[in-house]
């Protein structure tokens, strides 16, 4: 159980266009989802926290108008990179919280989406 | 703000040997969780082991164990009987209760045959 999927796994887009990445919790409901960005050979950096039915909370330095996050249901969060530029090329990973029987909030990670902007 | 430090960018170990990866963190919180994640070339994050801060007993999962020193804010990972499949990036992570996860810079582990 506790599977998180991401779609697409790899996307190439032209500079100036927008691209949407989906994150789904397949077998559990996630009240909170997180979006991370990982550059090559670097660690995961939190971009934003997405709560179902409310506005996302962005980390300092992350442009909320550029990285639009929507968490319309308990199983789906989307990240839209608007007016993408080559410097937005990166690996984007989402994770979702799953309340476990002992009250654990454990995060389950999606497989990631590789974005290449040409 | 919480910070997580992994001071070993790269490590290597011979197959079947034991290796320890270091992690320190800084926090003023008393209730938190610590994790070690493995990221193989596929880049899928895989949970290796977790520790609840209020538990004094060190967590173990088969060949993986931790040395949790709360006062020293240290959380090292020991991998026993290393296997070729253990080759990966390893990230130490900190999470406050009901909050987001913060990662260290990672340690690239290579298991040599």
Summarised one tens digit per residue, pLDDT across range A53-69 is: 888 999 999 999 999 99
For residue A102, pLDDT beyond 60:
no
Average pLDDT over residues A70-83: 93
Interface residue B97 vs chain A (CB under 8 A): yes
pLDDT (average), residues A85-99: 92
| Tokens (6 digits) for B62 | 């088969």
Q: What is the largest CA-CA distance in chain B?
A: 42
B100 neighbourhood in chain A, CB within 8 Å: 34, 46, 49
- Res. A103 pLDDT band, cuts 50 70 90: low
Q: What is the mean pLDDT of residues B7-28?
A: 97
Measured between beta carbons, the chain B residues lying within 8 angstroms of A45 are: 103
> How many C-beta neighbours within 10 Å does residue B7 have?
11
C-alpha distances in angstroms, A6 versus A50, A79, B30, B37, B50?
15, 11, 34, 19, 24
> Closest to A109 (Cβ–Cβ): which among B45, B100, B102?
B45
B102 touches chain A (CB under 8 A): yes
Interface size A-B, in CB pairs within 8 Å, comes to 39
* Shortest CA distance from A91: residue in chain B: B43
Cβ contact, residue pair B97, A105, below 8 Å: yes
Mean pLDDT of A97-115: 79
Q: How confident is the model at residue B100 (pLDDT cuts 50, 70, 90)?
A: confident
């Amino acid at each position: 159980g506790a599977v998180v999927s991401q779609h697409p796994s790899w996307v190439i887009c032209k500079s100036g266009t927008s691209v949407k990445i989906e994150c789904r919790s397949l077998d559990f409901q996630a009240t909170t989802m997180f979006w991370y960005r990982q550059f090559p050979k670097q660690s995961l950096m939190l971009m934003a926290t997405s709560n179902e039915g409310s506005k996302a909370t962005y980390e300092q330095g992350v442009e909320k108008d550029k990285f639009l996050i929507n968490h319309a249901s308990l199983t789906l969060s989307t990240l839209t990179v608007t007016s993408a530029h080559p410097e937005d090329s990166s690996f984007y990973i989402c994770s979702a919280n799953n309340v476990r029987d002992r009250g654990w909030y454990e995060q389950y990670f999606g497989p990631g989406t590789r974005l290449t902007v040409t | 703000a919480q910070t997580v430090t992994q001071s070993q960018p790269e490590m290597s170990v011979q197959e079947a040997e034991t290796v320890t990866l270091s992690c320190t963190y800084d926090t003023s919180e008393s209730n938190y969780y610590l994790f070690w994640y493995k990221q193989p070339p596929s880049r899928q994050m895989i949970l290796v082991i977790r520790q609840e801060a209020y538990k004094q007993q060190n967590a173990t999962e088969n060949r993986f164990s931790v040395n949790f020193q709360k006062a020293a804010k240290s959380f090292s990972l020991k991998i026993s009987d290393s296997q070729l499949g253990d080759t990966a990036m390893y990230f130490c992570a900190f999470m406050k209760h009901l909050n987001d996860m913060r990662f260290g810079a990672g340690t690239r582990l290579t298991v040599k045959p």
